[in-house]
Amino acid sequence: SVGKGKAEKVVTTTCTYCGVGCQFDLNVKDGKILRVTSNPNAPVNGMRLCVKGRYGYQFVHHPQRLTRPLVRQYLLEGKPRPAGADRGPWVEVDWDTALNLTAQKLDDARLQFGADSVGILASAKCTNEENYLMNKLARQVIGTNNIDHCARLCHSSTVAGLALAYGSGAMSNTMKDVAEQSQALFVIGSNTTEQHPVFGTMLRQAVLRRGVKLIVADPRRIDLCEFATLHLQQRPGTDIALLNGLMYIILEKGWADEAFIAERTENFDAFRENLKDYPPEKVAEITGVPVEQLYAAAEIMGTHKPMAVIWAMGITQHIVGVQNVLSLANLQMLLGNMGIPGGGVNPLRGQNNVQGACDMGGLPDVYPGYQKVTLDEARQRFEQAWGASLSPNLGMTVTEMIPAACEGKIKAMLIMGENPVMSDPDSNHVRHCLERLDFMALIEIFPSETSVYADVLLPAVTFAEKDGTFTNTERRIQRVRQAIDPIGEARPDWIILSGLAKRILQRGNRKIDASAPFAGWEYTSPAQIMDEVAAVTPIYAGVDYERLDRGESLQWPVRGKDHPGTPILHVGQFTRGRGKFHPTVHVPPADQPDGQFPMILTTGRVLYHWHGGEMTRRAETLMAIYDRPLVEISPEDAEALGVNGNRRLRLTSRRGSIEAEAWVTDRVPPGLLHANFHFPESPTNELTIAALDPISKIPDFKVTAVRVELVKEP
Ligand code: SF4
């Protein structure tokens, strides 16, 4: 499956899968990618690559790529949309036709129902420049803050929680200093070796080569547990109790960093008072973690400094996601582990550019650089830059937008590279809502489960066919470089968005002051877009392609052309001044087991696939290794069920039912199941609940009450 022969050219670029941000070389011959090879100068990964980075590129040349714009026949005929789910046949059209129709439909919705009847999804797969343009299109061209993307579903709790505690919602340290300078590692709710594999390797090496103490807290016995000093196997949804219990012991034993607390933090007394409710015995009862393990973990934390805390969606995807993050922020202040190498709070962002998509304003509450849409000063700055009056109202999150389609509040959507039917909770309801939209335009590389509900399908290019930048989980801005020509008539998203914005504005219904410095849409390159980003985004002020192409490795904030970037945040003082302790309270998960749904399902991903699987299911090497969805079930539960030869299971929740093959494994304890959401034939999110964290609006993907049955052979 890997091309043989000598490459005609080698192009260094950044991986399109996860937020680690590995760089590698695409070897190209006859306009095709022959293979991926390591590049020793890659700042994050050196010669390391995981299986997705090495072989996952194969989707680029897959025959199912969208190569021409598609429009539903009814639109071309000027007829009303057919009622029901089936929107009628697709017709291939030229770009002008597709963009003109899309511009007309979005502008019509805006005029008829108001700008806030339009919903926009940016994309964590696309470049910074493309996400910046999508944010500008939503706010300047349409006039709405209804823009969001899948960060809502992964780390919105992190962004909100860390912003409350520290004033900045991003990973504080670098992967390198965590791996090389920590004395202890606390990994909670992160299956690092499968989801951020190269960083997982760095953590394993920290244990094996430097003897770092590793504590893993996870309801499953994930691979990283093999390297851990201690595995705390807490019940799903009990992280706050666990963390408060550990901090109770740290205080009791005198391991807190009193000087740090006194000099750099506030609200400590209220926090300490709240901890009195979490004595070890009570915590053991709630979490299932034995008291002696709690003491052992607290001792490691209290006596090994610096300790880095690492987390992912096991922490964030709960109805208490923000409170979970605040608890971790409390822990690192209590131990004085902030602002130093080898310590910090280290949320691992999922998608390749989810950090950048947030940085670029792909969120309903902030402009680029986290400047709040509700602050007059910030809004006026962008009004002057873009020459348009902007909405002062908070926009809707994706988890609000889609239900709003059901209520008739969202009439039209523009979606770039997202697949909410696969990725959002309670997918039956998602389909039902998307069906009700008057219009949806989808910018995609493949037909997807969501494109069934689209009226226009605009073919975009992959990472290998465009230029731009991605920002990785540690805020490092890295170049993406075009290696091959676009496949068919597909276009880079930044060109598609520019064409669309110009057409909407040409209709003349939105008043724009053309003399404003960044009113226009005549972009000729992503480098030019980045210059505009730098001009309006203080944390990116010093970023330009010349510096990046010279080999400078920049982590934001980069405050000017002479500023070297900021590898470690919160040195000396927090972004908000003093770090703020927040008392946090254990709240049971929303979807409670009962007699009818007695087990708990937790969802996640596997090493060989990515997100909704649109790309990895089209990479033959990855499919050769993992070609079907597997549900992890404990040997005890498997035996009770009679899983013996007949290994197909039916999982049913209060919302839906799926079938998948069983994987009998002690990775999960009795009573717990784990399923991934990579395969449309087993749409796991038909089971999950759309219960949201009240602040971040993230759904609880981690605790779903289910019943499991054997599927009988016919
Ligand atoms: Fe790509 Fe992440 Fe694997 Fe690195 S660890 S090669 S960024 S998927």
Which H helix or E strand runs over 209? Answer: helix 197-210
Q: How far apart are CA 202 and CA 180, in angstroms?
A: 8
Cβ neighbours of residue 96 closer than 8 Å, sequence gap 6 or more? none
Structural domains of the chain in order of their starting residue, each with its CATH number: 70-79+93-153+352-473+490-541 (3.40.50.740), 172-348 (3.40.228.10), 599-710 (2.40.40.20)
Residue 353 CA to ligand 1 centre (angstroms): 12
Ligand 1 pocket mutation, candidates 12, 14, 16, 22, criterion most atoms within 8 A of CB:
22
Please state which of the ranges 412-416, 424-428, 477-481 shows the lowest mean pLDDT: 424-428
Say yes or no to pLDDT of 1 above 60. no
Q: How far apart are CA 554 and CA 356, in angstroms?
A: 13
Report residue 3's pLDDT band, with 50, 70 and 90 as the boundaries: low
pLDDT in tens, 487-509: 999 999 999 999 999 999 999 99
Q: Whose CA is nearest to atom 3 of ligand 1?
A: 50
pLDDT in tens, 196-212: 999 999 999 999 999 99
Enumerate the β-bridge partners of residue 600.
Answer: 672, 705
Is 412 or 151 the better-scoring residue by pLDDT? 412
User: What's the mean per-residue pLDDT of the chain?
Assistant: 94
Q: Which atom of ligand 1 is nearest to the CA of 17?
A: 8
pLDDT in tens, 262-271: 999 999 999 9
Q: How far apart are CA 129 and CA 23, in angstroms?
A: 19
pLDDT at 191: 95
Span 25-31, average pLDDT: 95
Residue 45 CA to ligand 1 centre (angstroms): 9
pLDDT at 683: 82
Cβ neighbours of residue 354 closer than 8 Å, sequence gap 6 or more? 19, 124, 149, 150, 151, 154, 155
Q: How many CB atoms lie within 10 A of CB 695?
A: 17
Q: How far apart are CA 567 and CA 556, in angstroms?
A: 8
622 lines ligand 1 (CB under 6 A): no
Please state which of the ranges 174-188, 274-288, 530-544, 629-643 shows the lowest mean pLDDT: 629-643
Span 299-319, average pLDDT: 94
52 lines ligand 1 (CB under 6 A): yes
Say yes or no to pLDDT of 395 above 60. yes
Residue 29 CA to ligand 1 centre (angstroms): 23
50 lines ligand 1 (CB under 6 A): yes
Residue 351 CA to ligand 1 centre (angstroms): 10
Q: Give the dihedral sign, CA 364/367/372/377.
A: negative
18 lines ligand 1 (CB under 6 A): yes
pLDDT in tens, 79-104: 988 887 789 999 999 999 999 999 99
Q: Which atom of ligand 1 is nearest to the CA of 51?
A: 3
Q: Whose CA is nearest to atom 1 of ligand 1?
A: 53
DSSP state of 142: I
pLDDT in tens, 364-390: 999 999 999 999 999 999 999 999 999
pLDDT at 273: 98
Alpha carbon distances (Å) from 616 to 14, 56, 564, 608: 17, 6, 36, 7
Residue 19 CA to ligand 1 centre (angstroms): 7
pLDDT in tens, 561-589: 999 999 999 999 999 999 999 999 999 98
pLDDT in tens, 334-366: 999 999 999 999 999 988 999 999 999 999 999
Q: Whose CA is nearest to atom 6 of ligand 1?
A: 53
Q: Which atom of ligand 1 is nearest to the CA of 24?
A: 6
Q: How far apart are CA 155 and CA 160, in angstroms?
A: 9
- Class of residue 10 by CB neighbours under 10 A (exposed 0-12, middle 13-18, buried 19+): middle
Residue 458's closest CA among 422, 498, 423?
498
Q: How many CB atoms lie within 10 A of CB 644?
A: 10
Residue 1 CA to ligand 1 centre (angstroms): 19
Alpha carbon distances (Å) from 702 to 86, 289, 317, 374, 605: 33, 18, 6, 32, 12
Q: Which atom of ligand 1 is nearest to the CA of 472?
A: 7
Say yes or no to pLDDT of 713 above 80. no
Residue 575's closest CA among 627, 604, 539?
539
Judge whether 426 and 688 are in contact, CB under 8 Å. Answer: yes
Provide ipTM, 2 decimals.
1.00
Q: Which atom of ligand 1 is nearest to the CA of 198?
A: 5
22 lines ligand 1 (CB under 6 A): yes
350 lines ligand 1 (CB under 6 A): no
